[in-house]
Structure 1
Amino acid sequence: MNKKSFSFKLLLLGLVSGVMNGLFGAGGGTILVPGMFFLLNVSQHKSHATAIAIILPLTLVSAFIYIQHGIIVWDVTLKVILGGVVGSYIGARLFSRIPDHLLRKAFGIFMIIAAIRMVL
């Protein structure tokens, strides 16, 4: 893959994940992880870790706009943040102990279950 093609894929992946984040609050895991893994041949662990780093600026931009429009439920937000911070710490510590093939399968199963729940 030439450098120009690779850069285009990166920009396109960023654009799609940014739009999905803004519209649905999704894009980091659902778009970036499979995109990096399948399109860019980034390892499973590195795809997940890189997606987490990318999600922060995407989320900050979306959250800023949502705050401007007054559509955030703050009492829910603050309570979920508390649990999320603790859960993120635990998940990140466990992350390196899971082999790539199991991480890929667990992520795939999670995505399928989430998709089914969203449709039904």
Structure 2
Amino acid sequence: MYLIKKYSKFIIIGLITGMVNGLFGSGGGTIIVPALVFLIGIEDHKAHATAISIIFPLTIVSTFIYFTHDMLRLNIAIVVGLGGSIGAYIGARLLNKVPSKILRKAFGIFMIIAAIRMMIK
């Protein structure tokens, strides 16, 4: 019981992130990065890196469920995944080279643009 109380904020953030990831097929980063920065107090670079490790198991679970319900376009996922893997490598290498102030603004702008595009379509 002590552990649940001690880690309740983490558990709640995880539940919300998992539900958003499962419902929308993404969104883990858009939830988890701000939560880690503003609710937990982790610095931006570490929040982005930590978010990736949190999103990984969520994605595996969601992918399994999507696959078993025949909702996954595996041919597209493989090709985009290969390109994404290369992009992930480049992005991870660049993360420490980007100042926190620029990283935060770029992430915020990306989220705003994505939100506007989602509302327009």
Q: Structure 1 length as normaliser, TM-score? A: 0.93
**CA-atom RMSD in angstroms:** 1.4
Q: CA deviation at 1:116?
A: 0.3
For residues 6 and 104 of structure 1, do their structure 2 counterparts lie closer, same or farther at Cα, with a shift above 3 Å needed?
Answer: farther
In structure 2, C-alpha distance between the alignment counterparts of 1:67 and 1:112, rounded to whole Å = 30
For residues 60 and 21 of structure 1, do their structure 2 counterparts lie closer, same or farther at Cα, with a shift above 3 Å needed?
Answer: same
Q: CA deviation at 1:4?
A: 6.9
* Aligned residue in 2 for 1:89: 89
Deviates more, 1:73-82 or 1:13-22: 73-82
For residues 59 and 4 of structure 1, do their structure 2 counterparts lie closer, same or farther at Cα, with a shift above 3 Å needed?
Answer: closer
Following TM superposition, where does structure 1 have runs of at least 4 consecutive aligned residues deviating by more than 3 angstroms?
A: 3-6
* Aligned residue in 2 for 1:11: 11
Q: CA deviation at 1:8?
A: 1.3
Q: CA deviation at 1:82?
A: 1.0
Report 1:12-51 matches (<5 A).
Answer: 12-51=12-51
Unaligned runs of 5+ in 1: none
For residues 5 and 103 of structure 1, do their structure 2 counterparts lie closer, same or farther at Cα, with a shift above 3 Å needed?
Answer: farther
Unaligned runs of 5+ in 2: none
In structure 1, C-alpha distance between the alignment counterparts of 2:40 and 2:83, rounded to whole Å = 33
Q: CA deviation at 1:37?
A: 0.5
* Aligned residue in 1 for 2:69: 69
In structure 1, C-alpha distance between the alignment counterparts of 2:110 and 2:91, rounded to whole Å = 15
In structure 2, C-alpha distance between the alignment counterparts of 1:4 and 1:71, rounded to whole Å = 35
In structure 2, C-alpha distance between the alignment counterparts of 1:55 and 1:4, rounded to whole Å = 21
Identity among equivalent positions (%) equals 54
Question: Any idea what SS the aligned residue of 2:58 has?
Answer: helix
Determine if contact 1:16/1:27 at 8 Å carries over to the other structure: no
Q: CA deviation at 1:27?
A: 3.2
In structure 1, C-alpha distance between the alignment counterparts of 2:13 and 2:73, rounded to whole Å = 30
Q: CA deviation at 1:26?
A: 2.1
Q: Structure 2 length as normaliser, TM-score? A: 0.93
Determine if contact 1:13/1:35 at 8 Å carries over to the other structure: yes
